[in-house]
Protein backbone atom coordinates (compact mmCIF):
# COMPACT_ATOMS: atom_id res chain seq x y z
CA UNK A 1 0.00 0.00 0.00
CA UNK A 2 2.78 2.43 0.94
CA UNK A 3 4.70 1.50 -2.23
CA UNK A 4 1.68 2.25 -4.43
CA UNK A 5 1.21 5.60 -2.73
CA UNK A 6 4.89 6.41 -3.30
CA UNK A 7 4.62 5.55 -7.00
CA UNK A 8 1.53 7.72 -7.28
CA UNK A 9 3.25 10.63 -5.57
CA UNK A 10 6.32 10.36 -7.82
CA UNK A 11 4.08 10.26 -10.88
CA UNK A 12 2.27 13.40 -9.77
CA UNK A 13 5.57 15.19 -9.21
CA UNK A 14 6.80 14.21 -12.69
CA UNK A 15 3.54 15.40 -14.22
CA UNK A 16 3.87 18.69 -12.38
CA UNK A 17 7.42 19.15 -13.74
CA UNK A 18 6.35 18.23 -17.28
CA UNK A 19 3.41 20.65 -17.18
CA UNK A 20 5.79 23.40 -16.13
CA UNK A 21 8.25 22.67 -18.96
CA UNK A 22 5.55 22.16 -21.59
CA UNK A 23 2.70 24.49 -20.62
CA UNK A 24 0.77 23.80 -23.84
CA UNK A 25 -0.12 20.29 -22.58
CA UNK A 26 -1.02 21.46 -19.11
CA UNK A 27 -4.76 21.41 -19.84
CA UNK A 28 -4.51 17.65 -20.55
CA UNK A 29 -2.98 16.68 -17.21
CA UNK A 30 -4.51 19.38 -15.01
CA UNK A 31 -7.18 17.03 -13.68
CA UNK A 32 -4.60 14.41 -12.70
CA UNK A 33 -2.28 16.97 -11.19
CA UNK A 34 -5.02 18.68 -9.14
CA UNK A 35 -4.47 16.78 -5.82
CA UNK A 36 -0.78 17.68 -5.80
CA UNK A 37 -1.57 21.32 -6.50
CA UNK A 38 -3.85 21.38 -3.45
CA UNK A 39 -1.06 20.00 -1.24
CA UNK A 40 1.50 22.50 -2.51
CA UNK A 41 -0.88 25.45 -2.16
CA UNK A 42 -1.77 24.44 1.40
CA UNK A 43 1.89 24.08 2.37
CA UNK A 44 2.71 27.44 0.80
CA UNK A 45 -0.16 29.21 2.59
CA UNK A 46 0.81 27.75 5.97
CA UNK A 47 4.40 28.84 5.42
CA UNK A 48 3.38 32.38 4.47
CA UNK A 49 1.02 32.59 7.47
CA UNK A 50 3.84 31.54 9.80
CA UNK A 51 6.23 34.11 8.34
CA UNK A 52 3.59 36.85 8.45
CA UNK A 53 2.68 36.27 12.11
CA UNK A 54 6.17 35.55 13.41
CA UNK A 55 7.12 39.16 14.13
CA UNK A 56 3.73 39.89 15.71
CA UNK A 57 3.98 36.86 18.00
CA UNK A 58 7.51 37.89 19.01
CA UNK A 59 6.24 41.37 19.88
CA UNK A 60 3.43 39.93 22.03
CA UNK A 61 5.88 37.64 23.80
CA UNK A 62 8.18 40.57 24.59
CA UNK A 63 5.23 42.62 25.86
CA UNK A 64 4.21 39.83 28.22
CA UNK A 65 7.74 39.53 29.58
CA UNK A 66 7.97 43.30 30.09
CA UNK A 67 4.53 43.44 31.70
CA UNK A 68 5.12 40.70 34.24
CA UNK A 69 5.86 42.33 37.58
CA UNK A 70 6.33 40.87 41.01
CA UNK A 71 6.54 42.47 44.43
CA UNK A 72 7.34 41.33 47.94
CA UNK A 73 5.50 42.52 51.04
CA UNK A 74 7.43 42.25 54.28
CA UNK A 75 5.57 42.11 57.58
CA UNK A 76 6.70 41.31 61.08
CA UNK A 77 5.22 37.84 60.88
CA UNK A 78 5.87 36.66 57.33
CA UNK A 79 6.89 37.60 53.80
CA UNK A 80 4.20 37.57 51.11
CA UNK A 81 5.10 37.32 47.41
CA UNK A 82 2.50 38.63 44.97
CA UNK A 83 2.60 39.23 41.23
CA UNK A 84 0.71 41.03 38.51
CA UNK A 85 -0.54 38.52 35.97
CA UNK A 86 -0.42 39.52 32.26
CA UNK A 87 -2.98 38.50 29.64
CA UNK A 88 -3.43 38.91 25.88
CA UNK A 89 -6.48 40.75 24.54
CA UNK A 90 -8.76 38.49 22.44
CA UNK A 91 -12.03 40.32 21.84
CA UNK A 92 -14.70 42.46 23.48
CA UNK A 93 -18.34 43.44 23.34
CA UNK A 94 -20.36 46.18 25.01
CA UNK A 95 -20.04 44.78 28.54
CA UNK A 96 -17.08 42.41 28.55
CA UNK A 97 -13.45 42.06 27.52
CA UNK A 98 -12.11 38.58 26.76
CA UNK A 99 -8.48 37.99 27.64
CA UNK A 100 -6.22 34.93 27.34
CA UNK A 101 -3.83 34.08 30.16
CA UNK A 102 -1.83 31.01 31.12
CA UNK A 103 -2.39 31.70 34.82
CA UNK A 104 -5.44 31.54 37.02
CA UNK A 105 -6.92 34.87 38.07
CA UNK A 106 -9.36 35.22 40.95
CA UNK A 107 -12.88 36.53 40.47
CA UNK A 108 -13.25 40.27 41.22
CA UNK A 109 -9.52 40.87 40.64
CA UNK A 110 -8.82 44.17 39.00
CA UNK A 111 -7.86 44.44 35.33
CA UNK A 112 -5.91 47.43 34.01
CA UNK A 113 -3.65 48.54 31.18
CA UNK A 114 0.12 49.09 31.26
CA UNK A 115 -0.69 52.79 31.69
CA UNK A 116 -2.45 51.82 34.97
CA UNK A 117 -5.93 52.73 33.71
CA UNK A 118 -8.65 50.40 35.04
CA UNK A 119 -10.63 48.50 32.42
CA UNK A 120 -12.80 46.41 34.75
CA UNK A 121 -13.07 43.44 37.10
CA UNK A 122 -12.73 39.70 36.53
CA UNK A 123 -16.14 38.07 36.17
CA UNK A 124 -14.95 34.50 35.57
CA UNK A 125 -12.03 32.40 34.35
CA UNK A 126 -12.88 29.68 31.82
CA UNK A 127 -9.80 27.50 31.28
CA UNK A 128 -7.45 30.37 30.69
CA UNK A 129 -9.97 32.65 28.97
CA UNK A 130 -10.67 35.45 31.40
CA UNK A 131 -13.96 37.33 31.17
CA UNK A 132 -13.61 40.91 32.42
CA UNK A 133 -16.71 42.95 33.17
CA UNK A 134 -16.00 46.48 31.98
CA UNK A 135 -15.87 49.24 34.56
CA UNK A 136 -19.34 50.69 35.12
CA UNK A 137 -21.38 47.58 34.31
CA UNK A 138 -21.39 46.21 37.86
CA UNK A 139 -22.67 47.52 41.20
CA UNK A 140 -19.35 48.02 42.99
CA UNK A 141 -18.44 50.94 45.22
CA UNK A 142 -14.89 52.09 45.93
CA UNK A 143 -12.96 55.18 46.95
CA UNK A 144 -10.80 57.46 44.89
CA UNK A 145 -8.81 60.61 45.50
CA UNK A 146 -8.64 63.84 43.52
CA UNK A 147 -7.08 67.21 44.36
CA UNK A 148 -6.57 66.14 47.97
CA UNK A 149 -10.17 65.01 48.55
CA UNK A 150 -11.51 61.50 49.10
CA UNK A 151 -14.44 60.70 46.82
CA UNK A 152 -16.90 57.79 46.62
CA UNK A 153 -17.25 56.11 43.23
CA UNK A 154 -20.22 53.88 42.33
CA UNK A 155 -20.87 51.81 39.22
CA UNK A 156 -24.26 52.53 37.64
CA UNK A 157 -24.72 49.11 36.03
CA UNK A 158 -25.07 50.61 32.54
CA UNK A 159 -21.41 51.29 31.75
CA UNK A 160 -20.83 54.54 33.62
CA UNK A 161 -20.01 55.82 37.12
CA UNK A 162 -21.45 58.20 39.71
CA UNK A 163 -18.96 60.21 41.78
CA UNK A 164 -19.97 61.61 45.17
CA UNK A 165 -17.92 64.48 46.61
CA UNK A 166 -17.92 66.33 49.97
CA UNK A 167 -20.37 69.21 50.34
CA UNK A 168 -19.26 72.76 49.70
CA UNK A 169 -16.50 72.06 47.17
CA UNK A 170 -16.26 71.96 43.38
CA UNK A 171 -13.83 69.42 41.96
CA UNK A 172 -14.72 68.98 38.29
CA UNK A 173 -15.78 71.19 35.41
CA UNK A 174 -18.68 70.04 33.30
CA UNK A 175 -17.66 68.11 30.15
CA UNK A 176 -13.92 67.96 30.87
CA UNK A 177 -11.75 64.84 30.90
CA UNK A 178 -10.11 63.73 34.17
CA UNK A 179 -7.85 61.01 35.52
CA UNK A 180 -8.75 60.04 39.09
CA UNK A 181 -6.51 58.14 41.46
CA UNK A 182 -8.06 55.05 43.01
CA UNK A 183 -6.99 54.30 46.59
CA UNK A 184 -3.50 52.92 45.98
CA UNK A 185 -3.54 50.90 49.22
CA UNK A 186 -5.33 48.21 47.18
CA UNK A 187 -2.32 47.72 44.88
CA UNK A 188 1.39 47.12 45.27
CA UNK A 189 3.77 50.01 44.60
CA UNK A 190 1.46 51.13 41.81
CA UNK A 191 -1.05 53.95 41.47
CA UNK A 192 -4.08 52.92 39.42
CA UNK A 193 -6.55 55.36 37.87
CA UNK A 194 -9.91 55.69 36.19
CA UNK A 195 -10.17 58.04 33.24
CA UNK A 196 -13.17 59.73 31.65
CA UNK A 197 -15.41 62.78 31.29
CA UNK A 198 -17.27 64.36 34.22
CA UNK A 199 -20.76 65.91 34.02
CA UNK A 200 -22.50 67.76 36.85
CA UNK A 201 -25.39 65.76 38.34
CA UNK A 202 -26.00 67.70 41.58
CA UNK A 203 -24.13 69.85 44.10
CA UNK A 204 -22.43 66.77 45.53
CA UNK A 205 -22.35 64.29 42.65
CA UNK A 206 -21.10 63.90 39.11
CA UNK A 207 -21.96 61.59 36.26
CA UNK A 208 -18.68 60.09 34.98
CA UNK A 209 -18.45 58.59 31.49
CA UNK A 210 -15.34 56.46 31.85
CA UNK A 211 -12.87 55.62 29.09
CA UNK A 212 -12.04 51.92 28.75
CA UNK A 213 -8.38 51.54 27.64
CA UNK A 214 -7.55 49.79 24.36
CA UNK A 215 -4.51 47.51 24.60
CA UNK A 216 -2.94 44.24 23.43
CA UNK A 217 -1.77 43.38 26.94
CA UNK A 218 -3.68 43.77 30.22
CA UNK A 219 -2.57 43.17 33.80
CA UNK A 220 -4.46 41.59 36.68
CA UNK A 221 -3.93 42.47 40.33
CA UNK A 222 -4.25 39.70 42.90
CA UNK A 223 -5.59 42.28 45.35
CA UNK A 224 -9.21 43.36 45.15
CA UNK A 225 -10.93 46.68 45.68
CA UNK A 226 -12.01 46.98 49.30
Terminal Cα-to-Cα distance of the chain (whole angstroms)? 69
The mean of the pLDDT values for the chain is 75
* Domain segments of the chain as ranges: 2-66, 84-226
Alpha carbons 218 and 58: distance in angstroms, whole number = 17
Closest to 217 measured CA to CA, from 20, 61, 95: 61
Alpha carbons 29 and 90: distance in angstroms, whole number = 46
**pLDDT at residue 139 greater than cutoff 90:** yes
**pLDDT single digits (tens) 114-136:** 888 999 999 998 877 899 999 99
**pLDDT single digits (tens) 9-52:** 676 666 666 655 555 555 555 555 455 554 554 454 455 445 54
Alpha carbons 89 and 98: distance in angstroms, whole number = 6
- Look up residue 117 and give its DSSP letter: B
Whether this model's pTM surpasses 0.85: no
Amino acid sequence: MNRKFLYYLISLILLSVISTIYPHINFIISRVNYPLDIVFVDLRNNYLLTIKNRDYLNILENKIVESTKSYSIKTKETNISLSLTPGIYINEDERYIYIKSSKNVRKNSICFSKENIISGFVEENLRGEIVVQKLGWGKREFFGRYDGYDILIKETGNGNLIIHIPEGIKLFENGKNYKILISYKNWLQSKVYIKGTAYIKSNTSYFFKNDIPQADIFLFSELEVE
